[in-house]
């Protein structure tokens, strides 16, 4: 009898396999993309701060490579190299990702990615609901937080802020900085000394690039964090523009403060957002219509929308996200890292070489962060 029970326990599927099975039943085809990828792709998408978490090596031609730190970019690259590129295709996966922050340098991750669907809000809701269901099957229910990058960008656009301020605000919010820290802080890198910025205020890109190359040569540095002289020049020109530009008007600053403070029940948040749009004369109609349609689709999928929480200041820390974003945690460990995260990334395909944007949305589950399932 004990032998039969032992055999049953050994045959029981793992948490990752339980989650993956849910995705397969829903019609998502399992794929396994390569493990090695150009490191520059991840650095460009996530910023230099991720470098210390990557496992780096060099290829035969000297190019910098890394073990995949996540699945979304590798799956997207595989999709673009396939005959399905540009058409509707939906994938799932289960395997290791490699980051220095994980125990033993790797952790198991499962997830799903959807490409090419035109019904964005319905696709968002399906991916979110399937990921939450899979997490519950694999471990236990999670508490979710929702955000909307497209809505945030619509606010910035409606306020008619210069591009340089939009980029700075987006980066600052991603990193959890307060609005006052973003708008009033220096925001300069160690290399961008006042004298350098002053020299760049009247320089064009070619002149700035030449100046950066000279400074790096004097310091005996070929590049900084994998960035080329041209990329560093772009950042310095941005800082020079901020240095010489006008501050954001008080009325626009107040609208930003009010927007970023909105949080709570998604349906109630929609009412507050519409009131803000009216009061501050913000053109948010289309973005809010999409926001409310998605809330309806999520509720129709059986997810209790009132048990999720929306935060206008929530933007995930990969800059390829373009719309709906979400993350979820073990309710017993609210201070722990998210067990689940994802969102919409329509612009990623083009940044990886496609001729145009391709609608895309996905989610990933870190198996070791799920609630422990009792009895297994």
**Using one digit for the tens of pLDDT, what is the confidence trace for 187-226?**
444 444 555 555 544 555 566 556 666 666 665 555 555 5
**Which DSSP symbol is given to 144?**
E
> What integer best gives the mean pLDDT of the chain?
84
CA gap 205, 240 in Å, rounded: 12
- % the chain with pLDDT above 70: 78
Query: Of 22-26, 52-56, 230-234, which range is least confident?
Result: 230-234
pLDDT band at 8 (very low <50, low <70, confident <90, very high): very low
pLDDT of residue 132: 97
Most confident by average pLDDT, 43-57, 108-122, 236-250: 108-122
d(CA 298, CA 324): 12
Q: Where are the beta strands (DSSP E) in 73-138?
A: 89-98, 106-115
Domain residue extents for the chain: 14-156+257-369, 184-244
317 confidence band (pLDDT: 50, 70, 90): low
Please, are residues 232 and 273 in contact by the beta-carbon 8 Å criterion? no
Write the pLDDT tens digit of every residue in 101-114: 766 789 999 999 99
Specify the pLDDT at position 353: 93
Integer Rg of the chain from CA: 22
Distance in angstroms (rounded) separating the CA atoms of residues 95 and 108: 5
**pTM above threshold 0.85:** no
State the CATH class of domain 14-156+257-369: alpha beta
* pLDDT tens digits along 160-174: 988 778 878 887 887
CA-CA distance, 346 to 131, in Å (whole number)? 19
Asked if 283 contacts 154 with a C-beta cutoff of 8 angstroms, the reply is yes
Mean pLDDT of all residues in 238-251: 64
Instruction: Tell me how far apart the alpha carbons of residues 310 and 144 are, in angstroms, rounded to a whole number.
Output: 9
């Amino acid at each position: 009898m004990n032998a039969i029970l032992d055999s049953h326990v050994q045959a029981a599927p793992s948490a990752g396999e339980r989650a993956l099975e849910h995705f397969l039943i829903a019609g998502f085809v399992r794929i396994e993309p390569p493990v090695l990828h150009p490191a520059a792709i991840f650095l460009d998408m996530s910023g230099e701060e991720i470098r210390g978490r990557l496992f780096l090596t060099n290829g035969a031609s000297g190019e910098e490579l890394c073990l995949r730190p996540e699945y979304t970019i590798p799956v997207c690259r595989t999709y673009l190299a396939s005959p399905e590129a540009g058409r509707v295709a939906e994938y799932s996966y289960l395997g290791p990702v490699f980051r220095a922050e994980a125990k033993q340098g790797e952790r198991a991750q499962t997830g799903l990615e959807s490409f090419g669907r035109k019904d964005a809000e319905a696709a968002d809701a399906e991916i979110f609901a399937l990921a939450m269901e899979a997490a519950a099957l694999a471990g236990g229910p999670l508490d979710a937080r929702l955000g909307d990058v497209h809505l945030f960008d619509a606010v910035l656009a409606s306020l008619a802020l210069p591009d340089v301020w939009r980029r700075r605000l987006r980066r600052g919010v991603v990193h959890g900085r307060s609005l006052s820290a973003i708008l009033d802080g220096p925001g300069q890198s160690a290399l961008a000394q006042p004298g350098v910025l002053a020299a760049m205020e009247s320089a064009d890109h070619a002149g700035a690039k030449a100046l950066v190359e000279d400074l790096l040569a004097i310091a005996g540095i070929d590049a900084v964090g994998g960035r080329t002289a041209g990329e560093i020049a772009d950042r310095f020109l941005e800082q020079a523009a901020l240095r010489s530009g006008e501050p954001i008007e008080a009325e626009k600053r107040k609208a930003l403060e009010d927007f970023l403070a909105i949080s709570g029940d998604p349906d109630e948040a929609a009412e507050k957002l519409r009131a803000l749009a009216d009061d501050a004369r913000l053109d948010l109609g289309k973005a809010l219509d999409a926001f409310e349609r998605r809330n309806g689709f999520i509720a129709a999928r059986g997810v209790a929308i009132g048990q999720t929480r929306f935060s206008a200041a929530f933007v995930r820390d990969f800059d390829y996200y373009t719309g709906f974003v979400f993350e979820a945690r073990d309710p017993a460990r609210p201070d722990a890292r998210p067990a689940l995260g994802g969102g919409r990334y329509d612009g990623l395909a083009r940044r990886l070489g496609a001729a145009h944007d391709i609608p895309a949305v996905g989610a990933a589950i870190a198996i070791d962060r799920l609630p422990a399932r009792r009895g297994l």
